[in-house]
Amino acid sequence: MITVHHLNDSRSDRILWLLEELGLSYEIKKYERDASTRYAPAALKAVHPLGKSPVITDGDRTIAESGAVIDYLIRRHGGGRLQPDPASPRYDEYVYWLHYAEGSATVPLLLLMYTMLMGGGAAPPLQKRIDEEIANHLGHLERALAGREFIVGNDFTGADVQITFVAEMATLLGQIGPYPNLGSYLSRMHARPAYRRAIERGGPSMMDV
């Protein structure tokens, strides 16, 4: 049985969503952030040394990191679903977006979030760079989504699970306004029945708190 070690208000929402899209059986072990510090509980370190979420266990296997978990679930349990044929050029595009979300696009958004949590903006030179990088990456996604329903081709894939989180962060941080394609994409992803089922099972998402 696949177990999702699910931390409230975290990236693990996306793993529940992916499992619902795949129609796989799974169980949820819930963890709560400290109400004052917002840190994950120490109990998560018993699952994986970093004490972060998402992390899943599948039999004797423990898989952490969003991209690695998505790749594992689709590769091992997907039966060819939710990714292009590995022999096709579309697969290379899929792998790019799957890892681009966390490797590049999320970084300046996280920096902005941290400066906001600290009670103000960053020092002017850093704030300028953060703003430029957010515009660079959200603009890249805006152009990629022009005329597309999904981030890769004409079908929903695991890469959409990753890119949706970027759009969610941009929305929460007040950055989505200049990017209508990205905003419409987020609305489409949130309207998917599997997404709604995941939120019903896992509890409120980061967009609901």
Give me the DSSP letters along 89-106. Answer: HHHHHHHHHHHHIIIIIH
Query: Given this structure, which CATH class describes domain 2-82?
Result: alpha beta
Phi first, then psi, for residue 23 (nearest 5°) are: 70, 30
Distance (Å, whole) CA 66 – CA 49? 16
Distance (Å, whole) CA 208 – CA 21? 21
Taking a C-beta distance cutoff of 8 angstroms, is the pair 108, 137 a contact?
A: yes
Classify domain 89-192 by CATH number: 1.20.1050.10
Instruction: Give the gyration radius of the chain's Cα atoms.
Output: 17
Pairing of strands 55-58, 2-7: antiparallel
Please list the pLDDT of the chain residue by residue as tens digits (209 residues). 999 998 877 788 999 999 999 999 999 998 888 777 777 888 888 899 988 889 999 999 999 999 999 999 999 999 999 999 999 999 999 999 999 999 999 999 999 998 887 777 667 888 999 999 999 999 999 999 999 999 998 999 999 999 999 999 999 999 999 999 999 999 999 999 999 999 999 887 766 54
Q: What is the domain partition of the chain in residue ranges?
A: 2-82, 89-192
The pTM (predicted TM-score) of the whole model is 0.93
Tokens representing 131 are 């703003």
